[in-house]
Amino acid sequence: MIEVSAEEIAIKNAIDRIHYKEPAYGVRRIRKELTKLGFAKIGKWLVRRYMEEMCIQVFYPGPNLSKRDKKARTYPYLLRNLDIKYPNQVWGIDITYIGVPDGFIYLVAIIDWYSRFIVGWSISNTLQPDFVVRTVEAAVATYGKPEIINSDQGSQFTSTDYLDYIKSFETVRISMNGKGRATDNIMIERFFRSFKWERLYLMRPETVREVKEMTREYMEHYNYERDHQGLEEVTPNSVYFQHNSAVA
């Protein structure tokens, strides 16, 4: 667990709730909401830094709040007007912040765009690229390769380790959100929103161990039990596996 002050944890946890309640709020409006909650002395530059550290992107065209490796190569967004017709055609990957009373951790998750099935996830207390690479490795080993994998332009996804790993699969194409356009990866953003409002904010886990157990249970519920309105009220696993079985 990263050692940080209790005040920083409290502010970041508040930012997380504000962002997932009002995803269009930028630094100025989040700072205003923090002031209402009693964080009167926090400045806009600190709010911006915390949002960067939390991998938060605001849902409107504007400055990209996800740190990017200036020397790394970014890739074009390949999903605009793409007809997504089957599983493993497109995966979306992203990272979200999870606060607990004594610190915070990060969840990386990978979603299949066609079925909304979560093909991979893991939790870490750091944002090192190998954490992301290991998650993709496990997903590929279990479900096979996607044709396209889409991410934002954050430093974890523009790192040499991540890009070299994805490029090692010659048939997998890399796609990245447009600068400042979190909605370009809307499927994984919607999943994170459901996860936080349906579980994290309700259960309020006290420890990292509790977060991991809660997350494991929610992933099973989301994939195998929770009917999805966007899938005509069936579960993601039924769409993912039924289509693959039909093709086979």
- Which CATH number covers residue 214? 3.30.420.10
129: left (phi over 0), alpha (psi -120 to 50) or beta: alpha
Q: What is the pLDDT of residues 21-54, one digit of tens each?
A: 887 788 999 999 999 999 988 899 999 998 888 8
Question: Helix, strand or coil for residue 74?
Answer: coil
Question: Per the domain annotation, does 140 fall within a domain?
Answer: yes
Please state the rounded mean pLDDT for residues 145-153.
94
Q: Which domain holds residue 38?
A: 6-53
pTM attached to this predicted model: 0.81
Is 107 domain-assigned? yes
42 in a structural domain: yes
Residue 65: inside a domain:
no
Handedness of CA 75, 19, 208, 216 (dihedral sign): negative
Residue 1 has pLDDT above 90, yes or no: no
Report yes or no on 74 lying in a domain: no
- Residue 34's H or E segment, with its range, is helix 27-36
User: Is residue 80 included in any domain, yes or no?
Assistant: no
- 35 assigned to some structural domain: yes
| Same domain as 95, residue 48 | no
Does one domain contain both 203 and 97? yes
Q: Are residues 171 and 98 both part of a single domain? A: yes
On the question of pLDDT at 107 being above 90, the answer is: yes
* Same domain flag for 131 and 219: yes
- Asked if residue 101 and residue 40 are part of one domain, the reply reads no
H or E element at residue 127: none
Inter-CA distances, 165 with 70, 73, 95, 129, 171, Å: 19, 14, 18, 11, 12
Same domain, 142 and 238: yes
Q: Total structural domains in the chain?
A: 2
Statement to judge: residues 31 and 131 lie in one domain: no
Q: State mean pLDDT over 98-105.
A: 82
Decide if 79 is inside a domain.
Answer: no
